[in-house]
Every structure is written in C-alpha cells, then in structure tokens.
Amino acid sequence: MRPIWKGAISFGLVTIPVGLYAATEDKRPKFRQLRESDHSPIRYKRVAETDGEEVPYEQIVKGYEVDKGRYVVFTGDELEGIMKQSTGGMVDVIQFVDQTEIDPIYYRSSYYLAPEKTGIKAYRILLQALEDKNMVGLAKVAIREREYPATLRADEGVIVMETMYWPDEIREPQFETLEGGDQVRAEEVKMAEMIIDNLAGTFDPSQWIDVSREAVEAAAQQKVDGQEIVSPETPQPTGVVDLMEALKASVEATKAKKAG
C-alpha cells in the first residue's frame, strides 16, 4: 500500500514518524452512465457558470464564499500553511480517554498508521501502552487541507486512526413523530428485550456478506453469457397486526432461530 500522507504522532515529548494508509475500500457495484444508443461512456466536464466554457484543471483555484457570489481565493500552499499552523503536520494527541466515552456517531473514516523505520520502537511502545490501558488517544490532524479531530487505538498489532466530525457538525435529533404518541407498556418492552436476548451474540465479520453485490456480479455475468435476467417476486408486506401479537410471534421465531 502507498501512504496517503506522511507525518508524525506526537504525544508528550515523543514524536513517531508515520505514514497514513486507507483502512477500508468501497466495493459497492460501480455503474457508468452510458449513451443508450451505442453504450458510449458519458464524461463530465468542468465548466464555468458565467459562459459555459470548459476550464482546464490547472486553471482551477479554490474559492471560499464570504458573501453570496463573492469569494476569496486560496492557493494550495496557503491552505497547507494554515493547516500546519494548527497541527504542524502532526497527529497531535491531546488526551487519552476510554473508547466507550465516544459516541460512534462522531466517527468518519478509518486509517492505519504505520511507522517509518526511525520510529518503530517508539511506535511499538505506544501500541503496547494503548493495548494495556485499553484507551484511545484523542488527537488533531490535518489531511488534504482540512483539519479533523481523531482517535488513535490499538487493533491487532497496528495503530488505527479514525477521523471524526467536529461536535458542531452533529445534527440534533429533532423529530415531530417522536413527540407524544402512544404510551409504551412495560410488557411490550419486556417482549422486545426477550427478542434482543434471543438474537444476542458476538460480532463475527466473516458472517457478514454483501449479498446485493454478489447478486449484481452474478447478474452481470449472466448478461455476458447471454442469459435472461429474471427478477424474483417481491414479497408483499403483511397487513397491520396487533403489536403485542407481533412481539410474541417475534419472540417465538427468534427463540427457534437461536435453538437451531
């Protein structure tokens, strides 16, 4: 793998040179837009709003809108300099916390941090300390002209960095449908808890398979082979049923699944 970014982890007075690597990849089926008549791929052009003229990539600059339709322009070097003022090209660890204190809604993207040759020992010391304390480091980092809060945690012999949203980027969950409404009965909650107990288990990643992706790949191969694609019948939703009866039936169904 090639590093996306190179910098250093800084905690206390210790500095560890590291490279940043993507920890995930998007494997969703990818579709191109084609012209219907001859299946020619469609390309997108960068055009100016004022005259519709195509703009070469090297002539494109970054503008920050200060008023409606009024921009100030920044060069890449200027933005990089602004980011370095706050982070200095570092994964700057501010404090260490228990991972359970962080709501998962804050997490954005996952990356691996791997040490450069000069930082292997210090990296292993931090890795071991994170494992022993079962804590994560809260840090700030600038990647590609943008600053993020982030966490560092130990995972199977490597330090994983997760970039996060800033607190003011998390929306408040305000929904009219959650205000008022029918009162929840204790026996209904008890039934729901029984369903949870029946479906409780440990997370095994190998058991989770993207069935829809496999279906698209299989259908694509069928088309290549000249076979007809037959869509299965979509099950029709059942009518409205009594909630308590549905909960009881769910308890029995999940109990049978657990026994099986």
* Cβ(136)–Cβ(99) below 8 Å: yes
The full set of domains in the chain, from first to last, is: 5-28+57-169 (2.40.290.10), 183-259 (no CATH)
Q: Which two tokens stand for residue 14?
A: 């210790």
The pLDDT tens digits along the chain (260 residues) read: 889 999 999 998 999 999 999 999 999 999 999 999 999 999 989 999 999 999 999 999 999 999 998 999 988 788 777 776 666 678 999 999 998 999 999 999 999 999 999 999 999 999 999 999 999 999 999 887 789 999 999 999 999 999 999 999 999 998 888 888 788 889 999 999 999 999 898 889 898 888 888 888 888 888 888 877 766 676 666 655 688 888 888 888 888 887 77
* Cβ(18)–Cβ(6) below 8 Å: yes
Distance (Å) of CA 203 to CA 199, 200, 211: 12, 10, 18
What are the backbone dihedrals phi and psi of residue 122, each rounded to the nearest 5 degrees, phi first?
Answer: -60, -35
Q: Which two tokens stand for residue 108?
A: 């954005």
Q: Would you say the pTM of this structure is higher than 0.85? A: no
